[in-house]
Homo-oligomer: A and B are copies of this chain.
Amino acid sequence: MNPTIKDVAQRAGVSVGTVSRVLAKNKTVNEDIRVKVEATIEAIGYRPNILGRSLRLAKTDIIGLVVPDITNPFFAELAKHVEMLASAEGYSVLLANTHDDPEAEKQQIETLLGRLPAGLILVPVSNSLVDGLVAGTRTVTVDRPLSGHALVAVDNRQGGYLAADHLLSLGHRRLGYISGPGTTEVSSERREGFLRRLEAFRQTHAGDYVAPQIVEGHFDYRSGEELGKRLLMQPAATRPTAIATASDQQAIGLLRAAGDMGVRVPNDLSIVGFDDIPLASLVLPRLTTIRQPIDEMARLALDGVLGSHALEEEYKLQPVLMRRGSCAAPSGS
């Protein structure tokens, strides 16, 4: 088997306690001995057994990361940043997928907690608190709130607001909105922000105001495509000249629907997405979208989980509008 601290101690002619203190770096240890022990460690290729240490210290160097679906580019991006930052601090990341299933989520979180992680970063799918979640582990939720826990998220209302504002200022009046599942807070906040801006517009331009057409589905490509078709299937006179979506995936699905139906973007239809996933700037046309500063979110989440200070309740970040090629003034104007 691998050499243990005992082997090092024996070979270096000191006690295991001393070796341990050498390992701990900051402890006071006689220089000569330190050198000898370090040489021995090098010589026999000793690597501390992390299990022994963790058992003794009753904590691990592991961060649990629970996401609905790692295949979703937004969460993949989150995972990448979390992993980068965590490994820079000597932590490893344990990945779990919930597939948007509350039952699976509960299961996953429970086995994760069983591994005594240093902290948990969670994108929750349900509001059902897992037993012991509150008590035990430092937990930060990302993107979606979970009562009783710190949340790192973008200001979704502001995001929806920006999308509507951009389209209105380009001159669009007949707007469509492709929403995410009505049950999720994220989704309703984005929609709310969108509607709030429209409402403000109505206050000042009552005559010019047109009620938006809203459809609702999932956050994924397919849903964007289907709902997009539904909105675009109308005669040109009533069909929206611009559509905002609750996710870039939806927006890309919508792009596809538009292409299928011969609706040109941005000439006949303007589109603004949400998230700014990497692909957003690679589709044709490049997608105008509301960017979530996901690197910043990862950093805050990890700081929250690893930091020793008390957890804030909410870290709301400001989304920003990325103007690209999928929006233009309506063709009539």
Contact = CB atoms under 8 A, between A and B. Distances in A.
Contacts of A90: 111
Oligomer copy total: 2
Contact of A83 (B55, B96, B115, B260): B96
- Greatest chain B CB density within 10 A among A71, A84, A116, A221 is at A71
A54 interface: yes
A165 interface: no
Interface in A87-135: 87, 90, 92-97, 108, 111-112, 114-116, 131
A256 interface: yes
A131 to B, nearest CB: 8
A47 interface: yes
A114 B50 contact: yes
B95 A95 contact: yes
Interface string A274-288: 000011001110000
A134 to B, nearest CB: 14
B93 A94 contact: yes
Nearest to A95: B95
Interface stretch (A18-26, A72-80, A171-179): A72-80
A139 to B, nearest CB: 17
Interface in A48-76: 48-52, 54-55, 58, 60, 62, 65, 69-71, 73, 76
A182 interface: no
B95 A225 contact: no
Nearest to A60: B51
B94 A95 contact: yes
Contacts of A54: 51
Contacts of A48: 114
A110 to B, nearest CB: 8
Nearest to A99: B84
A256 B284 contact: yes
Given A92-B115, A255-B284, 11 more contacts: A51-B51, A51-B116, A70-B70, A70-B83, A71-B80, A84-B97, A93-B94, A93-B96, A225-B282, A252-B282, A256-B284
Interface of A: 1, 45, 47-52, 54-55, 58, 60, 62, 65, 69-71, 73, 76-77, 79-80, 83-84, 87, 90, 92-97, 108, 111-112, 114-116, 131, 221-222, 225, 252-253, 255-256, 259-260, 278-279, 282-284
